[in-house]
């Protein structure tokens, strides 16, 4: 049953009349608030900062950076490792196997390869984010040098257990990949239109 205050005088509450004469119910009408209640719910859409310097820096915090690179590394490694496991399972299939055994082989192979590659890339992302955040904190600048140094350090640290030669090669490869990613990002910002 409708609230009688919502209906215009002379109308019934069975809903057979048109909605043209009705007004919407306002739960705040009897509160006599000095300002509009709508301002209570009109929240800002941009992030709020305490200092202007924080608003000028367009960068994730070290914790967000760490979470982002670790998560992206693990997820992409798990998907890539599962694809490798699927390929290995297809190669290892024998002609007389039942569908149940083939499905078991695919699941086992995808799971073990995905877990192994995902963990490896997750650790690389964790080390890269930690080194890059440390470089930003030490230099008090956010530029391409931090990314390249983080790539060098990550590659060298990741392969340090295999000997100095392997660490140097992996460090050089990490630095080149980080420089290529940074350069590609700058080119994409310049030449790719924003959708």
188 burial (CB, 10 Å; 0-12 / 13-18 / 19+) is exposed
Q: How confident is the model at residue 39 (pLDDT cuts 50, 70, 90)?
A: low
For residue 182, the model assigns a pLDDT of: 92
Contacts with 1 (C-beta within 8 Å, 6 or more apart), sequence order: 13
For residue 170, the model assigns a pLDDT of: 95
Instruction: State the average pLDDT over residues 45-67.
Output: 77
Distances (CA, A) of 13 to 5, 61, 156: 11, 58, 78
Instruction: State the average pLDDT over residues 77-102.
Output: 91
H-helix or E-strand spanning residue 76: helix 62-91
pLDDT digits (tens, 9 = 90+) for 155-187: 999 999 999 999 999 999 999 999 999 999 889
DSSP single-letter state for residue 194: P
For residue 24, the model assigns a pLDDT of: 80
Does pLDDT of 104 surpass 90?
Answer: yes
pLDDT mean across residues, the chain = 84
- Tokens standing for residue 80: 């890539």
Count CB neighbours of 143 within 10 A.
Answer: 11
- Tokens standing for residue 73: 């590394």
- Tokens standing for residue 136: 């930003």
Contacts with 43 (C-beta within 8 Å, 6 or more apart), sequence order: none
For residue 143, the model assigns a pLDDT of: 87
Q: Position of tokens 């640290």? A: 157
Instruction: State the average pLDDT over residues 13-33.
Output: 67
* Cα–Cα distance, 106 to 161 (Å, whole number): 32
For residue 36, the model assigns a pLDDT of: 64
For residue 58, the model assigns a pLDDT of: 72
110 burial (CB, 10 Å; 0-12 / 13-18 / 19+) is buried
For residue 117, the model assigns a pLDDT of: 95
């Amino acid at each position: 049953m409708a609230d009688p205050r919502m209906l215009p005088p002379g109308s019934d509450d069975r809903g057979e009349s048109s909605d043209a004469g009705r007004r919407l119910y306002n739960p705040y009408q009897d509160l006599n608030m000095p300002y509009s209640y709508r301002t209570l719910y009109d929240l800002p859409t941009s992030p709020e900062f305490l200092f202007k310097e924080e608003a000028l820096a367009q960068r994730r915090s070290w914790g967000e950076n760490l979470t982002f690179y670790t998560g992206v590394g693990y997820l992409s490694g798990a998907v890539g490792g599962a694809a490798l496991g699927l390929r290995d399972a297809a190669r290892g299939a024998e002609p007389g196997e039942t569908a149940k055994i083939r499905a078991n082989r695919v699941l086992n192979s995808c799971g073990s390869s995905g877990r192994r590659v995902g963990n490896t890339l997750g650790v690389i992302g964790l080390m890269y984010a930690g080194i890059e955040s440390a470089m930003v904190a030490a230099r008090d600048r956010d530029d391409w040098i931090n990314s390249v140094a983080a790539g060098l350090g990550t590659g060298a640290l990741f392969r340090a257990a295999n000997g100095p030669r392997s660490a140097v090669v992996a460090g050089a490869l990490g630095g080149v990949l980080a420089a290529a990613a940074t350069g590609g990002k700058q080119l994409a910002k310049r030449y790719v239109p924003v959708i």
